[in-house]
Amino acid sequence: MTDRLNLAHLSFSGSNVANAGIEFRPRLSLIYGASNTGKSFAYKSIDAALGAGSQLPDIEQRRAFDTLWLAITAGDRQMTLSRALAGGPIHLWSGHLSQPTRGEKSRALGQRNNASNMDNVSQFLLNEIGLREKLIAENASGSKRPLSFRDVVRFCMVDETSIQSEASPALSGQFASASAERRVFQLLITGTDDSAIQEVIRQGDFRVSKAAKVELVEELIAAVEVDLANDYPDAAELSAQDERLEVNFVTVQAEFDATRGSIKALLAQKRTIGQEISQKGERLDDVEMNLDRFAQLQKIYQSDIERLEAIEEAGFLLTLGGDHDCPLCGASPSAQRHAHGLDEIARAQSAATAEIRKIRQQQADLGETVQQLYAERVTLLDDLPALTAKLENTEKELAELAPAMTGANRKGDGDPDGARPRQARVVAPRSMRFPPGASRCACGRKARAAYG
């Protein structure tokens, strides 16, 4: 962004004709010459490149050309605005150009000013000079509008007529736009726009608005008086009736407050019961799953014991007769040769016996754990139906206390979600799987594992 735009050159291009144009130096430029040499046409061409809506004069000298090019320097950046002489959108190019080059892409800019969009030439140029989003007061009442580059360009370009005029150069001579033109001139001098100005209602509009409001209020009062006369012919009784209604309202309010307090307590109780049912249901699932796993572990223990007992028995059989003569060849024990000595067999037999004792101890510990889980399962199965029944009773009490309470009332009176408390889900336990040898009583509510 810079505070200054410098024109570099204005040129015209066509299909079958060489480019024509004029060069500008930095700072102030003055186009002068004899009559009918193109001074006004050059002025209007620059204005058209900067977003003017009027068509260029259809003079004979321009008919061979189809596009005008206005090269601009903004600080350290070079850019070019191009526009068809027949009118239409404006194109922005990078660098100083006088005709399109192959591979170069342009950005289309609309002609109409739109303060909320940067894709128009007015807002683009205002942004380049640091005046975008500025506001201008249009009249003495302080009504404001966004600044347009068309407001600024008339201070940057002066034609022959304006030079010769005796009127102020800050004014165009149009009475309707004089106030805005003065505010634009002040903005260019001070750098301060009219954002801080407060809009006021004009005196005429205020009087009309006030009279309309008074008339509307009088009509409302008259309508109320007619309704009172039709519905309450004996208006003297209204005061006494109001007192009786006030007493009834106080009584009903007290009853409502008491009921609301009871409902809050029941809602809290319902949430607590629901959470407890959910927790116990989840714990029951864990217990069922652990019982299944421990039953499998019990089978593994039993299989290991049987395998070790087979090793122990084999060792015992191998040691029998190991210190006697061979029954087949009659060889003495000292003459017999074995891959494994009797002492190795004895050590293997001893190790198998020790491992069997260790596994039986683990099996006994597992049996105690399983007994505890079965006891906890029985407790959970006893607690869940009681909690469910308690939850149902709480629901019935809530229905009796507040048959007409809405979801909004419950939100204000203790339900954080603003809706009816969610029904607690009672998790149905899976079918019980007893390990081998387990038994249960006839009622099905207690179980005991019979481990050897």
Q: What is the pLDDT of residues 256-268, one digit of tens each?
A: 888 888 888 888 8
Please give the pLDDT value at position 154: 86
Cα 395 from Cα 397, distance rounded (Å): 5
pLDDT class of 171 with cuts at 50, 70, 90: confident
Identify which of 66-70, 75-79, 184-188, 421-425 has the greatest average pLDDT: 66-70
Judge whether 108 and 100 are in contact, CB under 8 Å.
no
With DSSP H G I counted as helix, E B as strand and the rest as coil, what are the percentages for the chain, rounded to 5?
50, 10, 40
Query: Would residue 288 count as lying in a domain?
Result: yes
Considering the chain, what percentage of its residues have pLDDT values greater than 90?
21
pLDDT at 124: 93
- Averaged pLDDT for residues 209-219: 85
Same domain, yes or no: 143 and 61? yes
pLDDT of 409-432, one tens digit each? 444 444 444 444 444 333 334 333
SS3 readout for 80-118: EEEEECCCCCEEEEECCCCCCCCCCCCEEEECCCCCCCC
The DSSP letter of residue 324 is S
Q: Are residues 79 and 211 in the same domain?
A: no
| Domain co-membership, 148 together with 19 | yes
**Distance set, CA 74 to CA 2, 3, 134, 287 (Å):** 6, 8, 20, 80
Q: What is the C-alpha to C-alpha distance for residues 183 and 133, in angstroms, rounded to an integer?
A: 15
pLDDT number for residue 366: 87
- Residue 436 banded pLDDT, cuts 50, 70, 90: very low
Q: Are residues 260 and 124 both part of a single domain? A: no
At 262 the pLDDT is 83
Confidence (pLDDT) at 76:
87
Residue 197 maps to a domain: no
pLDDT in the model for residue 426: 36
Q: Is residue 165 scored above 70 in pLDDT?
A: yes
Confidence at residue 325, expressed as pLDDT on a 0 to 100 scale: 62
Q: Are residues 57 and 168 in the same domain?
A: yes
The mean pLDDT value for 231-255 works out to 80
Task: Say if residue 316 is in the same domain as residue 423.
Answer: yes
pLDDT of residue 327: 58
Among 258, 238, 234, residue whose Cα is nearest residue 246:
238
Residue 119's Cβ-side half-sphere holds a number of Cα atoms within 13 Å equal to 4
Report if residue 281 sits inside a domain.
yes
Provide the pairing of β-strand 135-137 with 144-146. antiparallel
What pLDDT digit, counting tens, does each position of 378-408 carry? 998 988 898 899 889 988 888 887 664 444 3
Average pLDDT of the chain to the nearest whole number: 80
**Residue 1 reports pLDDT greater than 60:** no
Model confidence over 15-38: pLDDT tens digits?
Answer: 889 999 999 988 888 988 888 888
pLDDT at 115: 87
Residues 179 and 277 in one domain: no
Instruction: Supply the pLDDT for residue 324.
Output: 58
CA gap 19, 99 in Å, rounded = 8
195 is a domain residue = no
Assess whether 83 and 145 both reside in one domain.
Answer: yes
Kindly state whether residue 285 falls inside one of the protein's structural domains. Answer: yes
User: What domain range is 215 assigned to?
Assistant: 203-233
Round to whole Å and give the CA distance between 57 and 53: 13
Selection from 43, 68, 40, 69 nearest residue 156 by Cα: 43
Does 263 or 66 have the greater pLDDT score? 66
Structural domain count of the chain: 3
Of 2-16, 136-150, 244-258, 399-413, which gets the smallest average pLDDT? Answer: 399-413
Residue 155 shares a structural domain with residue 215: no
Residues 213 and 271 in one domain: no
- Assign 370 to helix, strand or coil: helix
Q: Do 156 and 70 have their domain in common?
A: yes
Q: Which residue has the higher pLDDT, 124 or 103?
A: 124
